[in-house]
Structure formats: C-alpha cells, structure tokens
Structure 1
Amino acid sequence: MDLESKVNVIKEGALEVVTPDELREKLNQETVTAYIGYEPSGKVHLGHAITVKKMMALQKAGVKVKILLADLHAYLNGKGSLEDIKKVSEYNKNCFLALGLSEETEFVMGSSFQTNPDYTILVYQLALSTTLTRAKRSMAQITRDAEDHQVAEVIYPLMQVVDMLFLEVDLAVGGMEQRKIHMLARDNLPRLGYPAPVCIHTPLLHGTDGSEKMSSSKENFIAIDDEPEVIRKKVKKCYCPAGELEGNPVLEMAEHFIFSDRETILIQRPEKFGGDLNLNQPELLQMYGSGDLHPLDLKNAVADHLVKILEPVRRHLSSVD
C-alpha cells in the first residue's frame, strides 16, 4: 500500500487528523505505533466499536497498534475497585479481539508502568506547566457528572499525556471527547523535549436515549455481546424522532456499522405500507428526512442488520467464556 492509500485508509470515517502532513511524515518511518486507551469498566458497546474499527484500519495500513487497558485511569474516574477493574480488563481484551483486531495487537495494563518512578516524575513536570483550568476543561466529557469534583480529575489527563511517552506512540486515537487531552499532549510534550503525537479523532455515537454519548454508566448503550432479542428491544426503544437526521442514534448506527461495509440497507415492510426498500445512505437520509419512512421501519431494519453484524462477535466471545 502506497503512502497516500495509507493516509486515506486512516482518514476515512475520522472527524479530523491533527495534522495530515505530520501523519504522512510518521508513515514514512520504518515503524509507526498507534495507541488508544480504554477504561476497563462496564460493557463494551457500539461507541467503543467505532474506535476499534479505526484501530483495525490502522493495522490495515501497516501501523503497530497498542491498546492501553487503563485500569488506574478507571480507578481515578470512580469506576470501581482495582480488583474489580482488573477482572473487567480481560473481558475488554476479548471483546476487542472479537471485533476484529489482529492477534498481533499489543495490550498493555496501565498499572504495569504507571507506578514507575520515572513516570511519576514526568507527571509532576507536566503538572508544573499545566493550569488547573485547562486540566479540568480537558476532562469535561470524560468524568462522571458531579457537583463536588475530585482532585483525581486533574491527575487523569496528565497521566494520559505521559502514557503516550511510555508507550512510545506516534499516533494517538480517540473519540472527540479525547480532543482536549490530545491537544494538551501536543502543546506540552515538546516543552518537555518530546515529539508531539499525531491525533486522530472519531465521531461520538449518541446514546440510545438521544444523549450526547453512548455510555455503559448511563445504561444508554447496545453492547457488542447483547443477544439478538436484546438488540431488537433496545433499538426499538431508541430515540428516533420522525424526520430528524441530526443526533439520531439509529441513523448513526446505520452510518457506522452498515454503510461502512455495504452500499445499501434492506428495509422490509408490508406491501400495504409500500413494500420492501433497498436504500443507499443518501436515499435513506432523504426518505427519512422527508417523513416518507416510518421510524419503526428504520429501527427494525437497523436492528436486523446489527444482529447479523454482531453474530461473529457473540460467537467469538462464547468460545472464550
């Protein structure tokens, strides 16, 4: 695969790459390493799957992928005891492999290096050059809602920046909620004498309740190992206003998990309601936006497709139970 083909594979479906020129420079290296961090907490859901698909695209482009199972980050974010978090980490790893990551993917536990004295010194150095306001702002979309915030919330982003050094990454990947932390890394790592990572940001998937982000803690998610009847039930209850295209999680699921791999979606309807449809994405958006497609017909079609798409995932996970 030539350079521009690699760039196109990596950029496809991403909201932004900071910056494309730097990405080209990195890809000219003999080896290129990308990382993403996940807090091991709760179920792995479709929101996670968007970023996993991006890591798979990076592997297709010949990039080495490291997955940080950020157990100490999860602990700082109030996701449970360290013992419970470590148990969830193995489940997370199996889920990511089930979604299609290569067996060559390197999984790293945060606690395996984040108590290293050299790591701690770098966190202190970064603390000296980061304002409290910026550290808090960078966590706005990541931490739990609370009236009285914890000191842990400002340690978290500093650790995430130093993670990039210890994992020796060239590319940092995350959803748009990670953008402020990534920009913190790009601004501050050069001040400490280290190169800034290229940052790749993917879209956030709205929750099934229509809220800004799908989250296991908010119970507004579809897990990648949900049974078919559970998927259908959750999609049927999804926020999906008639004629509404923006912020519609059902249309987003179609975009990221159906149209990403096929050109059309089959919508089965009784003849008295117009019969079956086979629509590409522009046709679907036009028809739904005009009110000519009922929300329930859209939901049933997306649920049927998701059940089929996630069948290999369920099968893989059942084999490792």
Structure 2
Amino acid sequence: MTPEESITLIKANLAEVLNPEIIDNVILKENRPLRIYWGTAPTGKPHCGYFVPMVKIAELLHAGCHVKILLADKHAHMDSYTPIESIKHRCEYYRLLIRSSLKAIGVDVSKLEFVVGSSFQDSKEYQDDRFRFSNNVTVTQLIKAGSEVVKQGENPTLGSVEYPIWQSLDEEYLDVDAELGGVDQRKLFTFAIDHMPKLGYKVRAHLMNAMVPGLGEAQKMSSSEPSSKINLLDTPEEVTKKLRKAPRFTVETRDGDTLAYEDLSKLKEDYASDALTPQMIKPALIKTLHNLLDPIRKDFAADNEWQRIAELAYPVPVKPVKANKHKPGNEQGNDAAPEYHAETFPPGTAPAENTFRPNPESNYTTEALNMPALDMPGSKSKDIYNSIDSVHGRPLIGQENREIRGVHPRKRKKERSGLEGVGASTAYSVFDKVRDTVADKPNVEKGQRGYSGRREGGLAADGAESMPPVKADERAVREGPHKSPV
C-alpha cells in the first residue's frame, strides 16, 4: 500500500478529522507508521456500538498504523460507574472481549497493543503534570469539556470534573500522533488542542467516528445504560427481543415482497420513501447481528478463565430478602425455618435422659390440687376464714412443710380451656395464693390457729367465733377483692 493510499484509508469512513495535516506529515515527511490510540473506560459490558471503532481499528491496522488500545481504569473510577475492587477484572474482561470482537471481523490481533491506564498514570511525572494542568484551567472549562462524555449532575464530583485533564495527558504519555474516538468526544479533543501546548506538549490529530444510536430514547449506545444497547455477549433471544422493542421503526408494512440491497444508500432511499418497512428490516438485521456475535459467544463459551473473570467483573446482584409483614413487637427474621427431626423409640426402650419419670414421694402434680374448696378436714371456722382464696395443703411424705413444686401462681401456665377458660371458678381459682397454715409449721401446738404475716389471724390468734363482726364492705377494703369459693 502506497503512503497516499494509507492516508486515504486512515481518514476514510469518519465523521470528522481534526488537524489532518499531522497525519500527512508523519507518513509523507517522517516516513514512519502513524501511532494512534483508542481508549475505553471499563464500565458496563461492551455493546454492539463497539463494532464501529472496531471496524475503524481494522482499517488503521490495514493501513500500517501502530494501534494502542487504552483500558482506562482510572477514568472508569472517576466516571463513578465502576467499583474500584472490580476495575482490574473489568480491564481483563474488556481485553478478551475486544480481541474476540476484532477476530470476528477478520482482524489480526497480534498487531494490537493493550495498555492499562494505571501502568503510567500512577507515575510521579504524570501526577506532577496533572497538578500543573489544574493550575492552567478553570472548573467551568473542565465541566464544559467533559459534558458530552462524563455524566455530571448539578453538583459533580471532583473526579468527573478532572476527567478532561487525564484524557489530554494520556496522549503525551502514550507517545502517539493521533487519537481515535466518537463524535461525542469532540469537546474533549478541542480542550486538549487548546491546553496541551501550555504545558509544552505538541498537538495531536483527532479522528472521530459516528455514534450508533441507542435503542429507545437514548442518543447513543452506552455501556452504563443497559436498555440502550445490545451487548456483544447477549444471547440470540436477548438480541431479538431488544431489536423488536426498538421504537425508532414506525413505518407500517405495505407488501411482503423480498427486496435485496447491495449498498446502504439504496436502503436509505427505500426506507425514506416507505417502500421498505421496519417489519422487513428487523429480521434481516437480527440475522446479520447473530452472524457477527456468534463467534464471540463461542469464544466465551470455550474459555473457562474468561467466564471466571466475567463473574468477578460483573457479579450478579443479590436481591434483598423481603421480610414477611408482621405485627409490631413480633420479632421475625429472614432465616429459613430449621428442619424438624423426631426420633421415635418402641415402648419401654427410650433412654432415661429422654424420659420423664415423676417421683410420687417428692413431686406433687398440679392435678392433685383439684380439691373441693371447702373440703378441709379437721379445720375450724377460723381456718376456713383464713384459708379461703389460698392454697390449703398438707405435707407430703418426707416433707416438714408444704413444698409443692411447679404450682406457684406466677409460674403455673394459665389455663387456656376447661372451666377456667370459660370464666368458671375451679380449685385453682380458689386456692391461687400460697399461704402457710398450722399444719405446715413445725413445733406448733395443737389447737393453734393459722399463721399469716400479712393478715389478721396470725399464730395463736383467736378463732372466728371470738372475733367481733366485720361488715363485708369493710373487710373488702381491708383485704382487697377475693374470689368466691363456689
């Protein structure tokens, strides 16, 4: 290929070229290959829009250029799209996918050079130039330069504002003559042309390719907007679904004739005249895209390391578990209910530690307290008077006083059914409060009355027949309410 043919191919199929004379001087006067780079920030997954620069890179390689591909890891972090812990894996993912994409369109990838941005951007020289650069530009200039590439809100981050400085310095530290990018980077390119000479660095040529319109309302396919793009590793079903949902095709079908096109101009002409409809274009476009993407999918499916890197670069987000609705105060977790395993034993074979065997001499069952309220053998009127609304019991075998186990009114489980459950009085309701009686006290002489530390009728107190009459309302105030024994 002659130098003139090389220059023509380098400038072909582009939307615009800034400072094209630089290309001419390098090839015609310096008589050496053009050194050019194309940079990409490893943010979201690469999409079909990458085929446009890939085709141009193929032309540049065919024209004899030395092409570098910058994997701009620092830019990705500044652009607020890539978590810093995922950047390394995404750089490798991009490298593998770009190589496979170029191979799919017949490019010899052995001539490509991949460079990771942090390999030179962390150097002292680069950082010194970065600080020098920042003293020669204003925040307004930086925001304007990055407005088409870096998404900035009303209050942008410092990293996104600095983005143009880094991209301008990349041209110098990659030692290139030109940079390839999309038309959306025009403001970044003119910013570099205006400010790099102020640092004593030369101006570069800038080649701009057209942008692929995004699906839906997006102006371009963007790695950070999943709905605007077709990923290079999308499945055939995903590609078909996305293209069929594209709203830009609005013309209705008029006939079912098969039309063949050998050049794009004729296709555009028929589409403008409504002779070609979206319903006819979509199936052909889907088939063509599958032909391009199938080799990339096969490379990915055959490379276990690439698949491992993809999982690290783009981990599947875990959906938070929605807690079941519950009433306030009812604490519930998201843990799965534990499995229940019951062990059964034949009758008479259960281990002792798995079996409850009550001791009738030392354990007093709660059912044994179901006695008639007034069945107090050997009691006199004062015993009955002081024992109502209390538990009246006698010592068991081996007990000196009443050691009834498991029936304390504060520990006994409340009845949920039976007589008490419907509001009726039972032996429990009559004998709810534990009080000591004469039978429970050691060394008490026969005939002595009941003992109480809270009410009248203590040890050796007079019987009821010797006490003065007390009105019912006065006794109720003195003792508080008590339940009827019947």
TM-score (norm 2): 0.58
1:235 aligns with 2:243: yes
1:276 to 258, 270, 282: 258
SS in 2 for 1:27: helix
Conserved in 1, the CA contact under 8 Å of 2:42 and 2:82? Answer: no
Aligned to 1:54: 56
1:62 and 1:319 map into 2 onto residues whose CA distance is: 32
Q: C-alpha displacement at 1:315, in angstroms?
A: 2.2
Alignment of 1:1-321 (within 5 A): 1-28=1-28, 29=30, 30-100=32-102, 102-219=109-226, 220-242=228-250, 273-279=255-261, 280-320=263-303, 321=306
Aligned to 1:262: none
Q: Deviations over 1:35-67 (max 9, x none)?
A: 111111111112222112212211111111111
1:108 and 1:37 map into 2 onto residues whose CA distance is: 9
2:295 and 2:4 map into 1 onto residues whose CA distance is: 32
1:190 and 1:243 map into 2 onto residues whose CA distance is: 51
Q: Deviations over 1:210-229 (max 9, x none)?
A: 32111122211011121222
2:18 and 2:232 map into 1 onto residues whose CA distance is: 29
Q: Deviations over 1:98-138 (max 9, x none)?
A: 12252231111111111111101111121222222121011
Which letter maps to 1:301? A
Structure 2 unaligned spans of 5+: 307-486
Aligned to 2:339: none
1:214 and 1:145 map into 2 onto residues whose CA distance is: 18
- Structure 1 runs of 4+ aligned residues shifted over 6 Å read none
1:300 and 1:145 map into 2 onto residues whose CA distance is: 38
CA RMSD of aligned residues (A): 1.9
Conserved in 1, the CA contact under 8 Å of 2:148 and 2:187? Answer: no
SS in 1 for 2:91: helix
Which letter maps to 1:237? K
Give the structure with the larger strand fraction. Answer: 1
2:163 and 2:88 map into 1 onto residues whose CA distance is: 18
Structure 1 unaligned spans of 5+: 245-268
Conserved in 1, the CA contact under 8 Å of 2:16 and 2:208? Answer: yes
Highest RCO, 1 vs 2 (Cα 8 Å, sep ≥ 6): 1
Give the structure with the larger helix fraction. Answer: 1
Query: Identity across aligned pairs (percent)?
Result: 31
Who wins on radius of gyration, i.e. which is larger?
2
2:33 and 2:4 map into 1 onto residues whose CA distance is: 17
Residue 77 to residue 213, structure 1, CA distance change in 2 (3 Å): same
Residues paired across the two proteins, number = 295
